[in-house]
Chains A and B, each alone.
Chain A
């Protein structure tokens, strides 16, 4: 046997049990030393394997994982009241959540847009309600106020018609503004990914309503009781569309 063949056999069998290996090492000192090294290494590796054979992670990790698992399924599994949600799993859940977030964002933006919009007063350009105009007769001389030009008459009637919704809207806005003045707010709490809120130069504050569970999931220090409760909050949005901070309203 040649030394090269010996090395191949040693790689193949990993020890000196093979008869040909024994025979060769009896005559070749170099290969005998090589075999001795390999045997020492095998013994060391076996000892190392034995010393870590029973190793396993601490039981605290198992508990943490089980808690996380239950938490995840508490969030993802559908309550009995909404059996349709049970069909939503995995990526579908993410898609649904993203869609819901976009819709919520749109709803919030539209609410603020409508609130910011000044109350419109009917003008020439606004659609005109059809008000019957009676032609001027003799009675018109007795009642000169009826003899206004037809356009002005239309304007007057339009103002009368649109006054009611305007008043309702104005009172609603006044009520909302009064409610906002009565509210107390916490300091802005920076969100985890935005470390420096002072760096924010321009931005918009958006008022939102979110479930308590969402805020807890975001890491805000809220009590875990009444998890279904909706909480009012204001989010500081940067020009880049990223939410930098949040404050809670009461």
Chain B
């Protein structure tokens, strides 16, 4: 019953209660805001382990520094996004070589299996879709972080340019130009991947013929 009451409260009110030591308010705020924090980290890194670490880190920081939140400067959601973005970029910078989609692949396998054995989807379609998702994900992950984040915000989180600019803290024109450049890079990478896979497919029968 108490939890239902929290559902109607704003993030700011929940944070206020959280600062007073209310664990239920913290739980509600976590349930409400954790998915977006986790998703952003996951889409930026391609690793669920990375995303979980970041989620934990962000909410620990919220617990510790909740008093630093200033309502006049923005919403709790944007405050949390700011912390998340800062931590994700810092960690990506620290782990430049870190490109792992293993956990995500593991997660996806179950959904792929479900789709393969369901009657609604044709198995080949499912596999082709998975292949495409993997290729796009690889291409997104290979972008430099500042280009990657505009793709994640505008194309995956479906924010408009103004919202993305506000989140990143840069002019709308910068978001537009970065997105344009990022999309051009993605097209180029996907084309390269496509060419490589076509080449492999055409070479395979030739080898078998030999």
Q: Which A residues contact B (CB, under 8 angstroms)?
A: 11, 37-38, 40-45, 47-49, 51-53, 55-58, 61-62, 64-66, 68-70, 72-73, 76-77, 89-91
Q: When A51-B133, A68-B63, A89-B67 are in contact, do A37 and B191 touch as well, CB less than 8 Å? A: yes
**A-B CB contacts (within 8 Å), total count:** 104
The reply to whether A55 and B38 contact each other, CB–CB distance below 8 Å, is yes
Q: When A40-B190, A57-B38, A62-B30 are in contact, do A11 and B180 touch as well, CB less than 8 Å? A: yes
Contact of B52 among A11, A58, A72, A91 (CB under 8 A): A58
Within the complex, the shortest CB–CB distance from B118 to chain A, in Å, comes to: 16
The reply to whether A65 and B21 contact each other, CB–CB distance below 8 Å, is no
The reply to whether B136 and A69 contact each other, CB–CB distance below 8 Å, is no
11 additional contacts (CB under 8 A) given A45-B151, A64-B56: A11-B179, A45-B140, A51-B133, A52-B104, A55-B38, A57-B38, A57-B56, A61-B55, A62-B27, A73-B21, A77-B21
Within the complex, the shortest CB–CB distance from B92 to chain A, in Å, comes to: 17
Hey, which chain A residues are within 8 Å of B176, CB to CB? 11
The reply to whether B63 and A37 contact each other, CB–CB distance below 8 Å, is no
The reply to whether B23 and A48 contact each other, CB–CB distance below 8 Å, is no
Within the complex, the shortest CB–CB distance from B175 to chain A, in Å, comes to: 11
26 pairs from A and B in contact (CB 8 Å cutoff): A11-B176, A38-B183, A41-B183, A41-B186, A44-B132, A44-B136, A44-B190, A45-B140, A45-B156, A47-B129, A48-B136, A48-B137, A48-B140, A52-B42, A52-B43, A52-B156, A55-B35, A55-B42, A56-B35, A56-B39, A61-B55, A65-B59, A73-B23, A89-B19, A90-B66, A90-B67
Within the complex, the shortest CB–CB distance from B25 to chain A, in Å, comes to: 10
The digit string for B44-87, where 1 denotes a CB below 8 A from any CB of A, is 00001001100110011001101100000000000000000000
Size of B's binding interface in residues, CB under 8 A: 49
Within the complex, the shortest CB–CB distance from B61 to chain A, in Å, comes to: 11
Contact of B187 among A11, A37, A56, A90 (CB under 8 A): A37
Hey, which chain B residues are within 8 Å of A77, CB to CB? 21
Q: Which B residues contact A (CB, under 8 angstroms)?
A: 18-19, 21, 23, 26-27, 30-31, 34-35, 38-39, 42-43, 48, 51-52, 55-56, 59-60, 63-64, 66-67, 104, 107-108, 111, 129, 132-133, 135-137, 140, 151, 155-158, 176, 179-180, 183, 186-187, 190-191
